[in-house]
A and B are shown apart, each in its own frame.
Chain A
């Protein structure tokens, strides 16, 4: 069964919706800035910047919505409403509508704020909505409530691959006949002193405190770690048959999905990238495409010294000499790393790239890694070819989770 994308939504460090986020990406703008708080002074948090949302959810949601939902669910709901409206508010039977929206970490603000309450004011002051707010399936559950998605509400968790895995699961819900329409995506709201301290303890974060906008620099020789970002991305997937029957506008096709596990290390990727490459291979195979059909890759590329080149070598190994004709974009250079939201936001970027035939830029690359053997789009967008074209969106997560999604033009 063919699966098409009919709706897109996001709230990101570049903008409160898809139009402003895409415009920001094409302009090569950075959404990363210094945090407006005293966490460094109070707790010694070593990183003082992040990719913070351009539009806070409380600016667009009602007061009760912001009180009942963790920020991760709030962001997901903002993105889902935009995507649903963009899809033309499908009048789908609830039993044929699914929701698959993931988060890598879950309601970390709720969990830790409630613990502060226990310590400072006692157990009796813990609010009764704490559990439904902190559970990582909260975003998908709230979305299923709002849109009456009764075919199933899921939240596959695989760290930074969660958003992509959610889209993959939505794809499979449609292909297996469980649903006609699925709201899928990912969200993360983890700009809190604890996750920052914990990622910093792993030496995973950039410490470029004096240059926040220049800190996320995938493939640059001086990259020193990822930049934490927050936000959500949502796509509406539909069976092609259903979309055509209701006259929906089709942004792109979701052609293939490849998922593998490294079984190598709890956090480090396999040094030869075999699992990542195999995910891309499987996705192309399932799409019925050859490597020559691929014109664009939205890389996972988080700006870590080791990870970026493992993926890049894998892309080169898979595509061979054709890699010279493939435009590679690392949009985390502008948004930071949305963890569980990353694969979803980057799917939105990949779909927009195909739809507008424009590959977004990678910023902050002043000196590319000499080992990089793929055509990297730097600083300004570049045109993608005419005709039927396809693109890969890669997402990898701590734990050895590898997800590759292959999208094609409508």
Chain B
């Protein structure tokens, strides 16, 4: 067992343990912090797969953006120290059952499948390559989804402002 595989199993265990804590802790603020650690672990997995650009995007957008947004909304909507009510016993049992069955089914599908690794020469995943292919208008370019996503972001931004805007009482 080489150092690389040891690192992989350590990162995987870290991701799964913190994710499990994030969905089971009683306090909502702690849940957000465990989610933060889990997302950092996923970024570590991207680093391990030598996808530095995606790992950087993951840290910037998730850790720097979404988790901070979630923590702010926790502060705005409820007492962060309060304990959440426990889910009812029957719901917990059936959720565990459904999740275990789903995991086993997927495991049985993945296990016997033989993936044939590609022998093509790997392409360098540099920011230059990603940018030039994303914005190219040739056959394998991604400029149309890029534009669609930018429109979607604009629509989401305007929608957020409109939804969260406080409606003033009618002025005289």
A and B bind: no
